[in-house]
Structure 1
Amino acid sequence: MTPGTARELELVVVGSLNMDLTVPVTRLPGRGETVAGAAVVRVAGGKGANQAVAAARLGARVRLVGQVGDDALGRELLAAVAGEGVDVSGVRQVPAATGMAMIVVEDGGENMITVASGANRLFHLTAPGSSALMTTGLDLATADALLLQLEIPVAACLAAARQARAHGVPVVLNAAPYTQGLDDLLPLVDLLIVNESEADALCGGTDPAGLLALGPRAAVVTLGGRGARGRDAGGGCEAPSFQVPVVDAVGAGDTFCAQLALAHAAGLPLAEAVRRACAAGALATTAHGAQTAMPTGGQVERLLARAS
């Protein structure tokens, strides 16, 4: 594969699928305040689906494992994600409501998000070796990495991570949104990705060294418009942000995670992997929507070349 690209890599993503309802506004509302917005935009979302689509756009072979409701929104979500080239054979349809996210985006890209988990909250995996596990499509035999987030129960993430470790597959965890009860999961993680508030909740600060003390082999903290910093056994690194015209920051973090997971799976040094992730995340802010704004691998390469 070409260094830094996702070509030939296979990523398994276990995570959430939501239908995003987005309303653009001139400014975010305060507590108890009503702000008039433009027309509602409905697009596929959820951290699991977003990161799967981002990785596919970057050129990887991607399989998504998750759960949607047996309803019109669930079928619409599956069609949208499959249309991006993601294998959704591991996504179950169950008798529950499909997850939804309500997103308000102000001019300049800042946003507020409320999530109704729906079918995601009921998602589970059984222990490795159980025949029930096979119905989820969680086959890691040929995977280069497993990517997890916390919009599904921690128990499901733990079951997936344990199987990945058994197969020698690197585990990447985007610990978002922050959730308690990660003591058993973090020691199974090869690469932990969090933002500043999540880092502070986990270790009482934003230094990646504090996160490494919890068990992961490498940790990266995203800093929004200031880039990201990371640390592994080889030491620390920091990458600045890329200057781009920001339209909508929704999905930028998920794009960052997908690119970082792929660069890590490709064996790139952490500093280079973080820089590439910053470039991908920046490009995702230059258009409206989450999945609709995610860049291709070629776009990331061109931005990196211009900035070098």
Structure 2
Amino acid sequence: MMKPTVVVFGSINIDLVARVQRLPRPGETLTGQRFETTPGGKGANQAVAAARMGARTAMVGRVGADAFGEQLLASLAENGVATDAVLRDTEAHTGVALINVAENGHNAIVVVPGANGRVEQADVERLRPLLEQAAVLLVQLEIPQETVLAALRLAREMGVRTILDPAPVHENLPDELLAFCDILTPNEHEAAVLVGGAIETAVEASEAAEALRARGAQVAILTRGEKGATVAVADGVWHQPPFRVNAVDTVGAGDAFNGALAVALAEGYDVATAVRWASAAGALAVQRQGAQRAMPRRDEVLALVEMRRVS
């Protein structure tokens, strides 16, 4: 039987990472401990996460016609991601993310979109033939919002389930975007921006998830890091307990979560099972440094889920 297909439509970046003792304050210069260049971009990270979870995965997006672009395409291919639908844009540089990672695992990121900012309707058309075989389309907001909406509309027309990771978050995200979104996966900060209020307690998380469902998302999943996840579905709200781990780098946690979630749903598992897989994937990712290289493999994720089940 052919494996289910996950299609990721989104950003492809090169990550320039500085390891620091702590994050700098405004106007402050710190001496870093280490520097590295790694493949990233939320779209590409999630594609690698899905591929490592065993899904037949395709990436749609843009890179520049430069050395960084070639490096990123090679990394995706090495991880089993099909890149035939990734355009090499001769009029823009490859997207860049400037990342500071502190010893406690917290991070601060600045993204310069480059070619990602030029993803447009023509790229949506390259998405169409892939969706004919897809079970899930996974999108983020590191490409233009109107293009994301066009992709979600196309997936809805073609009967493909959609997941929207609303990062980086937009304060005035239109309800129309949420209306074409089957599953919305903000973290606490993103959800707080979307609902216009702080989220510190479990009750506030539940209220926010319900509010996002009321705005159009069929399922709202708030990822809350070491506090687990809050999930709002048609018949109520429930909480996914966290997998307790020692975090060393949180950069790729959300991407691991979304990639694993997409694969579980593509394979026909229910939302509760998919969220358990996703939470386990996120927990494994934060124990490793980097983004794509931190994405766990399927056997690791399922072993952690089973360990929780029998404990």
Q: TM-score scaled by structure 1?
A: 0.92
Give the Å deviation of 1:272: 2.3
Partner of 2:176, secondary structure, is coil
1:170 aligns with 2:172: no
Partner of 2:185, secondary structure, is strand
In structure 2, how many angstroms separate the alpha carbons of the residues matched to 1:98 and 1:181? 26
In structure 1, how many angstroms separate the alpha carbons of the residues matched to 2:32 and 2:127? 39
Partner residue, 1:273: 274
Residue of structure 2 aligned with 1:158, choices 149, 157, 160: 149
Give the Å deviation of 1:276: 1.6
In structure 2, how many angstroms separate the alpha carbons of the residues matched to 1:49 and 1:285? 17
Seen in structure 2, the aligned counterparts of structure 1 residues 307 and 17 have a Cα distance that, compared at 3 Å, is same
For 1:143-222, what aligned pairs fall within 5 Å after superposition? 143-179=134-170, 180-205=172-197, 206=205, 207-222=208-223
1:93 aligns with 2:88: yes
Q: Which amino acid aligns with 1:76?
A: Q
Residue of structure 2 aligned with 1:72, choices 67, 80, 86: 67
Could you report, residue by residue, the CA deviation over 1:202-258 in whole angstroms, capped at 9, with x for unpaired residues?
Answer: 123442100001101111001111111111113222112112232111111111011
Partner residue, 2:200: none
Could you report, residue by residue, the CA deviation over 1:161-210 in whole angstroms, capped at 9, with x for unpaired residues?
Answer: 11111110011101111123432211111101101121122123442100
In structure 1, how many angstroms separate the alpha carbons of the residues matched to 2:57 and 2:138? 10
Could you report, residue by residue, the CA deviation over 1:73-123 in whole angstroms, capped at 9, with x for unpaired residues?
Answer: 111111111111100111101121110001111112111111111110111
Seen in structure 2, the aligned counterparts of structure 1 residues 144 and 116 have a Cα distance that, compared at 3 Å, is same
Seen in structure 2, the aligned counterparts of structure 1 residues 264 and 111 have a Cα distance that, compared at 3 Å, is same
Partner of 1:282, secondary structure, is helix
For structure 1, list consecutive stretches of 5 or more residues without a partner in the other structure. Answer: 2-6, 127-131
In structure 2, how many angstroms separate the alpha carbons of the residues matched to 1:135 and 1:61? 17
Partner of 1:78, secondary structure, is helix
Partner residue, 1:129: none
- The answer on whether the counterparts of 2:173 and 2:194 sit within 8 Å (CA) in structure 1 is no
- The answer on whether the counterparts of 1:90 and 1:136 sit within 8 Å (CA) in structure 2 is yes
Large movers: runs of 4+ above 6 Å:
none
In structure 2, how many angstroms separate the alpha carbons of the residues matched to 1:172 and 1:125? 19
- The answer on whether the counterparts of 2:60 and 2:126 sit within 8 Å (CA) in structure 1 is no
Seen in structure 2, the aligned counterparts of structure 1 residues 17 and 169 have a Cα distance that, compared at 3 Å, is same
In structure 2, how many angstroms separate the alpha carbons of the residues matched to 1:52 and 1:8? 15
Q: Percent identity?
A: 46
Give the Å deviation of 1:281: 0.2
Partner residue, 1:102: 98
In structure 1, how many angstroms separate the alpha carbons of the residues matched to 2:32 and 2:150? 42
In structure 1, how many angstroms separate the alpha carbons of the residues matched to 2:66 and 2:126? 20
Partner residue, 1:4: none
Q: Which amino acid aligns with 1:117?
A: P
In structure 1, how many angstroms separate the alpha carbons of the residues matched to 2:77 and 2:245? 29
- The answer on whether the counterparts of 2:167 and 2:186 sit within 8 Å (CA) in structure 1 is yes
In structure 1, how many angstroms separate the alpha carbons of the residues matched to 2:31 and 2:303? 38
- The answer on whether the counterparts of 2:277 and 2:305 sit within 8 Å (CA) in structure 1 is yes
Give the Å deviation of 1:45: 0.2
In structure 2, how many angstroms separate the alpha carbons of the residues matched to 1:183 and 1:19? 31
For 1:41-80, what aligned pairs fall within 5 Å after superposition? 41-80=36-75
In structure 1, how many angstroms separate the alpha carbons of the residues matched to 2:10 and 2:56? 16
Partner of 2:175, secondary structure, is coil
Give the aligned CA root-mean-square deviation in angstroms.
1.6
For structure 2, list consecutive stretches of 5 or more residues without a partner in the other structure. Answer: 198-204
Give the Å deviation of 1:136: 5.6
In structure 2, how many angstroms separate the alpha carbons of the residues matched to 1:68 and 1:24? 26
Seen in structure 2, the aligned counterparts of structure 1 residues 292 and 133 have a Cα distance that, compared at 3 Å, is closer
Give the Å deviation of 1:138: 5.3
In structure 1, how many angstroms separate the alpha carbons of the residues matched to 2:38 and 2:302? 27
In structure 1, how many angstroms separate the alpha carbons of the residues matched to 2:186 and 2:214? 15
